[in-house]
Every structure is written in structure tokens, then in C-alpha cells.
């Protein structure tokens, strides 16, 4: 009997062993399915960053204007259906830039350019967490608007709504009754900055849609080429042509946008005239080589340096050796060295909690945008087998750049002195009083321009969650006051969401980036 009992125990043990192996195989298959081809280093998919990306992407749906298709936000509906009608253009689509109902073309185009860049570099990683198609849909919602905003080669509509009147109202976008005038730039009222940024958006998006919608891709590229010519041949700042934008999205110069647009047009068209533009006299005039600045909706130079450094890492030899091309790589390296906290040239502009600090308004914009550039550059190094980054006498690994990028992302997601997430909808603690009209007013309440102010002043949390909103951010002391009237810290924006989407997409997994945009 003892022998038979022992045999049964061995049999059960063997069956248990087989069961454990089977479960292990199933678990591995699940992980493999989820991670797909991402096997570089320890590059399994990060659930934290994947989940955060899914949440961040939803804010684009929150901000959509026009007749909504497949609406995923239950408290949003159709709005601004007549935008542009008085001048015979359909400007109903696009996105509201922040918590109000204005459509400003300058930051909206930047949103599209950054979203395109994220898709081109990290589309595979977006797809792993089912966010590639939503990203493309959000991008096209903007580019459809931009196409309509460019009815002739030398004419671009750059604003919908009167910001003074708009900011005197507190109502839902679905209930707007105030007039919504539109503004445009043309040869007599130039706007090289906004026209060139729109060209960058069109050119980068043309690459995104090239494989799936060639006709649309060609349309976007045609608009981009026309807009660049208009911007370059009629040089001037839109802030000077339309002074009322100075209080909202004042441009500090157009040279950076011209270089940014020409860079994207080179990638999209392969026309060497754009390469000659960025490396020739205009590059020498506007590129501000090896002097790091902060990437934002107003300053495209750091983004241009990193984008063109791709040609040094991966480009054909004849391109990589083009005169002055190495200056963009060196400038990108200078940007990276300024970000790494242990570099001798590191910026001291940081909070005690470790967040890059530049501005009290939308304080998260520059750190998140910088982190996006850092993860890109890190992946360029990995994909080109570049082992180290030299910062004066110091040298750093690609992993050092990635760690910096993760530190800024983690701060946003809750690893900060406030122990709260600044991404609405992520984690257990996030802002409840976001400065956002639509989120603050119950969907079943109809308000006019003025009577909606009771919802602004309400002591109750927002009845609607602006899921995916990245609020303005903390103070230099790492503090945050969660108040609906605190627009400086509590107002979200689409362009900040765009750089966050780029950053999170890059952190979903450790993998290589494509060596060319096809």
C-alpha cells in the first residue's frame, strides 16, 4: 500500500508539474501577444505607461468640435457646426485648444505635428495598446480642419471665435450662441509662423497616412508645400498682423517654424531644396545652433534639432555629410546634455521634486516636451548602435536619457511631492476641479453665456471627468491648488496632451525606432 500511495503522490506531483508548465506557456503566450515584437533588452510592455497612454488619448475626443462621429465621450455632443460659414469655409472640425471654446490655429497645428511625430516613431508601440487607430482618427480630425482652413495657396484661416467675448462666457460648447468670427493671414497680413507650423502639420501627417490613404496623403503634402512657399515668401509674424492674439498665443519669431516645416517637408517629399534650406543661409540665421532652448508650441528649435539629427544617425551618407548637418546633431546633443541632471551642463531649472521648471503657466509643458525629445534621442542612439553621449568631460548612455524621460513621466503620473496624478483619470488621486467649461457643467443642463458662471463658482467637483486632460501643473514649490478658478495650474490643453502622448508612446516599451519614415 505504501508503494501505491507513493506512486499516486508521484503521479499527482507529475500532473501538477505538467499543469504548471501549461499555465506558464499560456502566460508567456499572453505576454508575447501583448508585447508583440518588443524584445529589445527588457522591453516588455509597461502596463503603467500603456494605461496612461490610453487615458491621455481620450482628451482629444473631449476637445473635438463639429459633428461628432462615433462619439466616445457621453457628456459631449455636436458643437460649432456653423464655424466659418460667413466666409464660405467649413471650419466646424478641429479641436478647442484648452478649457474654453476658441480654436487657435497655431497651437492646434503644433498638436497635429507632434501627434504625427509620435505615430511615425512609435506607431507600433501605440498599436500594442490599441491606440494607433484612435491617434490617427484624432490627427485626421485636425488635418481635415486645416485643409479647409487653407482654401487658396496664399490664404490661411488661423482663428475661430473672439477670445475676449469667448472668455466672458461660461457655457458648454454645445450651447454656444455668441458670434464666432474668423481671422486669416494672407500676403497683406502675413503669418509665417502659423503658416509654417501648419505646413509642418500637413507634411508630417502626409507621412502618417501615406500607406493607408495615399490620396489624402498627397493632398496634405500639396497643402504643406503651398503653405511653406506662402510663409517663406511673405515673411512676417502673425502676432504683428493680428495683434489681438498676443495675449493668448503670441509668437516670439517665425524662423524656428520655417526650419521645422522645411525639415518635415524634406522627410515627406525627399526634395533636396528643403534640406538646402535648413543647412544653408536660413539655417545659419535661425537655427541658434548649440544653444539649448525649450521645446513648446512657440519654440520649435529643439524639436528641429532632434528631428534633423535623425539624418546624422540614419540618413544616407550623402545627406548626413551635407554641410552644417552635423550642427543639428551637435545642437540636439546640447539639448540632451542640458536635461540630464548629472551632466556638467545640466540646467538648474528644476523643482525639488525633480521636475524641469520653466514657466508657472502650463508648467508641465516644457518638462513633458523635453522628456519626449529625450526618449526619442535615446532610441535614435539605440537604433544606430551609438553607445554614448558626450557632455563635455562626461559621457552618458541611452538608458540615462530614458531614465530622465521616465522621471518626468512618473512625476506627472503621481511620483511627486503632492502624491497626485496630473493626468485626469489616471490613478486614485487627480484634479477634480479642472478649469474646463464642458466638464464643469452637467450635460443635461442648458445654460447661456452668463448664467453658467454658477458652475464655475460651484464648490462641487466637476460633474464630468475630462478624462485624459493634462492640467497646467504644479508650482515651482511642487504645490498644486485644485480650484476651478486656478486656470494657471488647472487648465488643460491639447498641445500638452500631444507631447504627453508622444512621451508615453515612447515609454510603452524599449524598442528600436524606424530608420526612415515611409
Asked whether the predicted pLDDT for residue 464 surpasses 90, the reply is yes
Q: How much is the average pLDDT of 448-460?
A: 93
Q: How much is the average pLDDT of 409-423?
A: 98
- Closest-CA residue to 227 (of 208, 207, 246, 199): 199
Asked whether the predicted pLDDT for residue 28 surpasses 80, the reply is no
Per-residue confidence (pLDDT) for residue 321, from 0 to 100: 76
Which among 101, 150, 362, 435 is annotated as catalytic?
435
pLDDT, tens only, 310-352: 999 998 877 877 888 899 999 999 999 999 999 999 999 999 9
Asked whether the predicted pLDDT for residue 201 surpasses 70, the reply is yes
Per-residue confidence (pLDDT) for residue 315, from 0 to 100: 84
Q: How confident is the model at residue 512 (pLDDT cuts 50, 70, 90)?
A: confident
Beta bridge partners of 155: 152
Please, which residues have CB within 8 angstroms of residue 64's CB and are 6 or more apart in sequence?
76, 93, 95, 141
pLDDT, tens only, 125-174: 999 999 999 999 999 999 999 999 999 999 999 999 999 999 999 999 99
Lowest mean pLDDT among 71-75, 184-188, 261-265, 443-447: 443-447
What percent of the chain shows pLDDT beyond 70? 92
Query: Which phi and psi (to 5°) does residue 386 adopt?
Result: -90, 115
Q: Where are the alpha helices (DSSP H) in 209-286?
A: 214-233, 238-241, 246-249, 255-269, 272-279, 281-286
pLDDT, tens only, 230-268: 999 999 999 999 998 999 999 999 999 999 999 999 999
Per-residue confidence (pLDDT) for residue 139, from 0 to 100: 98
Per-residue confidence (pLDDT) for residue 100, from 0 to 100: 95
Per-residue confidence (pLDDT) for residue 26, from 0 to 100: 37
Cell of 116: 504625427
Q: How much is the average pLDDT of 428-447?
A: 96
Measured CA to CA in angstroms, residue 366 lies from 295, 299, 409 at distances of 6, 10, 12
Q: How confident is the model at residue 8 (pLDDT cuts 50, 70, 90)?
A: very low
* Whole-number Å distance between alpha carbons of 356 and 339: 8
More confident call, 34 vs 460? 460
Q: Catalytic site residue 150?
A: no
* Whole-number Å distance between alpha carbons of 294 and 368: 10
Beta bridge partners of 184: 157
Per-residue HEC secondary structure of 342-363 comes to CCCCCCCCECCCCCECCCCCCC
What value, to the nearest 5°, has the Cα angle with vertex 303 and ends 300 and 307?
135
Q: How much is the average pLDDT of 443-468?
A: 94
DSSP letter string over 300-314?
-HHHHHHHHHHHHHH
Per-residue confidence (pLDDT) for residue 34, from 0 to 100: 35
Q: How much is the average pLDDT of 489-510?
A: 97
To the nearest whole number, what is the mean pLDDT of the chain? 91
Measured CA to CA in angstroms, residue 227 lies from 146, 153, 157, 245, 261 at distances of 11, 7, 12, 20, 9
Per-residue confidence (pLDDT) for residue 133, from 0 to 100: 97
Query: Which phi and psi (to 5°) does residue 462 adopt?
Result: -55, 135
Per-residue HEC secondary structure of 368-385 comes to HHHHHHHHHHHHHHHHCC
pLDDT, tens only, 363-384: 999 999 999 999 999 999 999 9
Residue ranges covered by each domain of the chain: 36-507
Per-residue confidence (pLDDT) for residue 318, from 0 to 100: 75
Asked whether the predicted pLDDT for residue 35 surpasses 80, the reply is no
A 10 A CB-CB count for 360 gives 13
Asked whether the predicted pLDDT for residue 446 surpasses 90, the reply is no
Per-residue confidence (pLDDT) for residue 112, from 0 to 100: 98
CB 183 within 8 A of CB 158: yes
Per-residue confidence (pLDDT) for residue 44, from 0 to 100: 79
Per-residue confidence (pLDDT) for residue 24, from 0 to 100: 45
Per-residue confidence (pLDDT) for residue 43, from 0 to 100: 57
Q: Domain spanning 36-507 has what CATH number?
A: 1.50.10.10
What percent of the chain shows pLDDT beyond 90? 86
Asked whether the predicted pLDDT for residue 2 surpasses 90, the reply is no
Q: How much is the average pLDDT of 76-103?
A: 97
Amino acid at each position: 500500500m505504501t508503494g501505491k500511495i507513493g506512486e499516486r503522490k508521484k503521479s499527482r506531483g507529475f500532473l501538477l508539474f505538467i499543469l504548471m508548465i501549461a499555465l506558464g506557456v499560456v502566460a508567456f503566450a499572453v505576454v508575447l501577444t501583448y508585447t508583440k515584437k518588443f524584445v529589445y533588452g527588457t522591453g516588455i510592455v509597461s502596463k503603467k505607461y500603456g494605461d496612461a497612454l490610453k487615458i491621455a488619448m481620450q482628451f482629444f475626443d473631449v476637445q473635438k468640435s463639429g459633428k461628432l462621429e462615433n462619439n466616445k465621450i457621453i457628456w459631449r455632443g455636436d458643437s460649432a457646426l456653423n464655424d466659418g460659414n460667413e466666409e464660405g469655409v467649413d471650419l466646424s472640425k478641429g479641436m478647442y485648444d484648452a478649457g474654453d471654446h476658441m480654436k487657435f490655429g497655431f497651437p492646434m497645428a503644433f498638436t497635429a505635428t507632434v501627434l504625427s511625430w509620435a505615430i511615425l516613431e512609435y506607431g507600433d508601440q501605440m498599436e500594442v495598446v490599441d491606440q494607433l487607430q484612435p491617434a490617427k482618427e484624432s490627427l485626421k480630425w485636425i488635418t481635415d480642419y486645416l485643409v479647409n482652413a487653407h482654401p487658396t495657396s496664399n490664404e490661411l484661416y488661423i482663428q475661430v471665435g473672439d477670445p475676449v467675448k469667448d472668455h466672458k462666457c461660461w457655457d458648454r460648447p454645445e450651447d454656444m450662441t455668441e458670434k464666432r468670427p474668423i481671422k486669416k493671414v494672407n500676403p497683406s497680413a502675413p503669418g509665417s509662423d502659423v503658416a509654417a507650423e501648419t505646413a509642418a502639420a500637413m507634411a508630417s501627417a502626409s507621412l502618417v497616412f501615406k500607406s493607408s490613404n495615399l490620396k489624402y496623403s498627397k493632398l496634405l503634402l500639396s497643402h504643406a508645400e503651398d503653405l511653406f512657399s506662402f510663409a517663406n515668401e511673405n515673411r512676417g509674424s502673425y502676432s504683428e498682423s493680428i495683434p489681438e492674439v498676443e495675449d493668448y498665443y503670441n509668437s516670439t519669431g517665425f524662423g524656428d517654424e520655417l526650419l521645422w516645416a522645411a525639415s518635415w517637408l524634406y522627410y515627406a517629399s525627399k526634395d533636396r531644396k528643403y534640406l538646402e534650406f535648413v543647412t544653408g543661409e536660413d539655417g545659419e540665421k535661425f537655427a541658434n545652433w548649440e544653444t539649448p532652448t525649450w521645446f513648446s508650441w512657440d519654440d520649435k528649435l529643439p524639436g528641429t534639432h532632434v528631428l534633423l539629427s535623425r539624418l546624422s544617425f540614419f540618413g544616407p551618407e550623402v545627406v548626413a555629410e551635407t554641410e552644417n548637418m552635423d550642427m543639428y546633431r551637435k545642437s540636439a546633443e546640447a539639448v540632451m546634455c542640458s536635461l540630464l541632471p548629472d551632466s556638467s551642463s545640466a540646467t538648474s531649472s528644476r523643482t525639488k521634486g525633480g521636475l524641469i521648471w520653466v514657466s508657472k503657466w502650463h508648467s508641465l509643458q516644457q518638462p513633458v516636451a523635453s522628456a519626449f525629445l529625450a526618449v526619442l534621442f535615446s532610441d535614435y542612439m539605440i537604433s544606430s548602435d551609438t553607445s554614448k553621449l558626450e557632455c563635455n568631460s562626461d559621457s552618458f548612455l541611452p538608458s540615462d536619457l530614458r531614465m530622465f524621460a521616465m522621471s518626468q513621466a512618473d512625476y506627472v503620473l503621481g511620483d511627486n511631492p503632492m502624491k497626485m496624478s496630473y493626468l485626469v483619470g489616471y490613478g486614485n488621486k487627480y484634479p477634480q476641479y479642472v478649469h474646463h467649461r464642458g466638464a464643469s457643467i452637467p450635460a443635461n443642463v442648458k445654460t447661456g453665456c452668463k448664467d453658467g458662471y454658477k458652475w464655475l463658482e460651484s464648490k462641487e467637483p466637476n460633474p464630468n471627468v475630462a478624462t485624459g486632460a493634462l492640467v497646467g501643473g504644479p508650482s515651482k514649490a511642487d504645490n498644486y491648488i485644485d480650484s476651478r478658478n486656478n486656470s494657471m495650474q488647472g487648465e488643460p490643453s491639447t498641445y500638452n496632451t500631444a507631447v504627453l502622448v508622444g512621451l508615453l508612446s515612447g515609454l510603452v516599451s524599449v524598442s528600436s525606432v524606424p530608420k526612415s519614415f515611409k
